[in-house]
Amino acid sequence: MIENLHTHTTYCDGENSAEELVLKAIELGISELGFSGHSYTFFDESYCMSKEKTVKYKAEVRRLKEEYKNKIRILLGVEQDYYSKEPTNDYDYVIGSVHYVKKDVNYIPIDESKEILENAVKTHYNGDFYALAEDYYALVGDVYNKTKCDIIGHFDLITKFNNNNELFDENNARYKNALNNALEKLCNTPAVFEVNTGGMAKGYKSVPYPNKQIIEKIKNRKKKLIFSSDCHNKEQLLFGLDLVEKLIN
């Protein structure tokens, strides 16, 4: 069974319509396709579904679910940001993700650009990337409690712009301690972890979220891992599937 439960459409920051993704999924032989539009965040509307689009999104996915039920199983999901206040009770599943760290009254986007992240650390953390990482993983560790998610989204997203440890050392004791504390908390929840190839598909990373070392820790805890391409373009639906299968099996 081939499945991908992390996909984005033109209702948020994806490049294809929901139906285009369905048709591509059928062509690729995908058995189960889950849509996971970005939940509305009041402080940043640039990437997420508006409240009006959320209503339309739900209606269209439900229509497609019925129309293509003999060819593919379609699920209506949402990627619920930690700071989103939108209800999730009428979705088939929830991906819980941390895209921002709130510092004082500022919402710092973790994955928007390297420059924004560097400037935010200089401005709000006196240049201390490990302090930002500690705040980030504190939120990640709490994401199940906050969202009651079924899937943990891109666990170590903070490494998106950190190829070759350009911004901070991922072997630093403070970083590893913050990461491990979050991992321990999440391993004691019912949520599963996605192995997300989105950063690879966009050319930012050479490894998925989370990296191989974290995946091994999750496997040692007997927690379930699933493939996710974090698809924003129909050509990315199965991006990195072979690699992820090797990592999680």
Q: Are 163 and 205 in contact (CB under 8 A)?
A: yes
Q: What is the dihedral of CA 118, 124, 130, 135, to 10 degrees?
A: -120
Output the six-digit token pair for 71: 């060819």
Q: Whole-structure pTM over 0.95, yes or no?
A: yes
Instruction: Report the number of distinct structural domains present in the chain.
Output: 1
Q: How many CB atoms lie within 10 A of CB 164?
A: 6
| pLDDT beyond 90 at 1 | no
C-alpha 22: how far from chain center: 20
* Mean pLDDT of the region 168-188: 98
Integer Rg of the chain from CA: 17
Q: Which helix (H) or strand (E) holds 94?
A: strand 93-97
**Residue-number span of the structural domain to which 81 is assigned:** 3-248
The burial of 12, by beta-carbon neighbours within 10 Å (0-12 exposed, 13-18 middle, 19 or more buried), is given as: buried
pLDDT of residue 245: 97
CATH number of the domain that 145 lies in?
Answer: 3.20.20.140
| pLDDT beyond 90 at 47 | yes
Q: What percent of the chain has pLDDT over 70?
A: 100
pLDDT band at 16 (very low <50, low <70, confident <90, very high): very high
Which tens digits make up the pLDDT trace of 193-244? Answer: 999 999 999 999 999 999 999 999 999 999 999 999 999 999 999 999 999 9
Q: Which residues pair with 37 in a beta bridge?
A: 78
Tell which residue, 43, 36, 60, has the closest CA to residue 194: 36
Average per-residue pLDDT for the chain = 98
C-alpha 1: how far from chain center: 22
* Cα separations in angstroms, 121 against 17, 94, 125, 130, 218: 36, 30, 5, 9, 29
Which tens digits make up the pLDDT trace of 69-103? Answer: 999 999 999 999 999 999 999 999 999 999 999 99
| pLDDT beyond 90 at 5 | yes
Which tens digits make up the pLDDT trace of 109-152? Answer: 999 999 999 999 999 999 999 999 999 999 999 999 999 999 99
